[in-house]
Chains A and B, each alone.
Chain A
């Protein structure tokens, strides 16, 4: 079944329009839980209550206000809140084209695939080919629903995709973290040993090699609980108290990759016991 589009509009670069449809590219498979009252296992409801009257308020009596100073609000209508997004119109306006490796992944937020609208297939294919040939990424602005966002346009896997991006002032600079510095510098010997460990674990990235196993484990716990078994989290394994960095690195390199798997097996055995 063809996917449903979230938005219809056009990519605009120069005097060229490429009418497209926007589709979600990612959907988290997070386990959905319900909120329950721990005391009686009853379902919880979220109720909107007026803080002044202490009474429930139906949705059609709710308005949106921006707090200008404590307790003082400017109320805006839905249309007024949406005005800035409407001003942008139905276009993804490309402003610049930049080399993709200059974009720190910290800026990327949500991905969307773009499909051509009927009649725009040729223009779509031309823009895609131009991005592939130059290795460049388009930077533009786009208003999806009520919010205008910065986006990066990529040609990937034979299609065009945008990633919404964070603005520069929304990214926290590492200088503000006040990172502690070691009193004793990292020695060459330690760095060499750590390098060897990194090399021994170096591989090509293949996303299909990593599966979400947690989901399964949670469902096992649910199943066990449903059968009335008691679930006890094992005590945290005592952390390796050793602080001899060099010794730990040496042991890691000599047994790289082999140290983790037996532990994982032991855990599984416990769950099925």
Chain B
């Protein structure tokens, strides 16, 4: 079980449930260590006091806030807690809302709430979980985690209660803030075709359909390098240009989807864009079929890479 990041209480009316906060994500990223080029030794990052020129242990680190005058005010953890002791210790439910009303732009990080192992806490936890599930409501609360106040959404997931930190409204930007406005009105005929195409690519969302291919590719590169093999560096990719005839591109996509399905459509798009990376991910027999269509000579003798090369240089 992961280690708790915070413990305190979840408060719902006058009911207080002692809980622990656990991250609902695990880090599967491929991480690199900093090494000294000369001797391949690990680089350590040390905190050094600029007055004493000596390393400082974590227990002796305090936080400083710089005033406009340049003066730095030092605060201890206890003094910080005094800023808002209640919010530092309690997740206080303020309202219940429908999930669809929350724009995903606000979501930050997901956690699980786990009750303390005593009967009173466990019962209160299950009571809250049961009524939230039944009413299909999400609780909105606020609390302070590591010197930052968060708005949070508290929801049920299976037998558990989750908490997702959210940003405040003044921490997100609107399209107007960015300057996205004055868009033209979309032409009805084009929208109709786009709707047809989008619907033909519709399926149910199953997160298991999507694997982290980047992680796999990076680990494969590491393995190649370990064996002393050459790593091929793809060229800096170019930005694809807009299609000259939107209506024609939409219609061709719909046709391709009908005749060949998703994979054929993706492959066609890749050939059109000279996108070797996408083609490399296709099985060799698909590439051969495509080479036949394009009448590429000597295709039956070609390796996968050669086929991709031939297809993208047509």
Contact = CB atoms under 8 A, between A and B. Distances in A.
Given A48-B34, A203-B97, A26 B172 contact: yes
Contacts of B235: 86
Interface string B133-164: 01101001010100111010101011110101
Given A147-B214, A207-B151, A248-B15, A163 B190 contact: no
A90 B217 contact: no
A84 B31 CA distance: 14
A273 interface: no
Contacts of B168: 29, 207, 210-212
A120 B194 contact: no
Given A15-B272, A24-B173, A53-B39, A45 B50 contact: yes
B259 interface: no
Contacts of A157: 174-175
Instruction: Give the one of A17, A102, A207 with max B CB within 10 A.
Output: A207
B171 interface: yes
B258 to A, nearest CB: 12
A81 B234 CA distance: 11
Given A13-B197, A129-B191, A131-B198, A42 B52 contact: yes
B309 interface: no
A87 B110 contact: no
A9 to B, nearest CB: 5
Interface in A117-160: 117, 119-131, 133-134, 136, 138-139, 141, 143, 147-150, 152, 154, 156-159
Interface in A146-202: 147-150, 152, 154, 156-159, 161, 163, 166-172, 174-184, 186, 190-191, 194-195, 197-199, 201-202
Nearest to B54: A37
Given A87-B217, A208-B169, A35 B63 contact: yes
Given A93-B278, A205-B101, A62 B246 contact: no
B149 A202 contact: no
Contact of A83 (B12, B86, B234): B234
A218 B171 contact: no
Q: Top 5 A-B pairs ranked by shortest CB distance?
A: A252-B13, A14-B253, A214-B149, A42-B51, A52-B41
B43 A50 contact: yes
Contacts of B120: 243, 245
B41 A115 contact: no
Contact of A42 (B42, B50, B160): B50
A51 B83 CA distance: 40
Given A10-B240, A139-B205, A182-B122, A74 B225 contact: yes
A158 to B, nearest CB: 6
Contacts of B101: 204-205
B300 interface: no
Nearest to B225: A74
Interface string A226-251: 10000111101101100101001101
Interface string B109-143: 01010110101101110111011101101001010
B217 to A, nearest CB: 4
B285 interface: no
A105 B275 contact: no
Contact of A210 (B67, B140, B204, B234): B140
B1 A178 contact: yes
Contacts of B99: 105
A121 B180 CA distance: 10
Contact of B64 (A36, A99, A180): A36
B184 interface: yes
B34 A245 contact: no
B243 A156 contact: no
Contacts of B135: 195, 198-199, 202
A181 B194 contact: no
B43 A49 contact: yes
Given A180-B117, A256-B13, A96 B157 contact: no
A259 interface: yes
Interface string A19-51: 100011111111101111111111111111111
B302 interface: no
B213 A148 contact: yes
10 contacts: A30-B147, A37-B62, A49-B44, A53-B39, A80-B221, A105-B99, A163-B105, A210-B142, A215-B149, A233-B79
A12 B269 contact: yes
Contact of B114 (A3, A27, A179, A263): A179
Interface in A62-84: 62-68, 73-76, 79-81, 83-84
B61 A156 contact: no
B37 A61 contact: yes
Contacts of A211: 168, 170
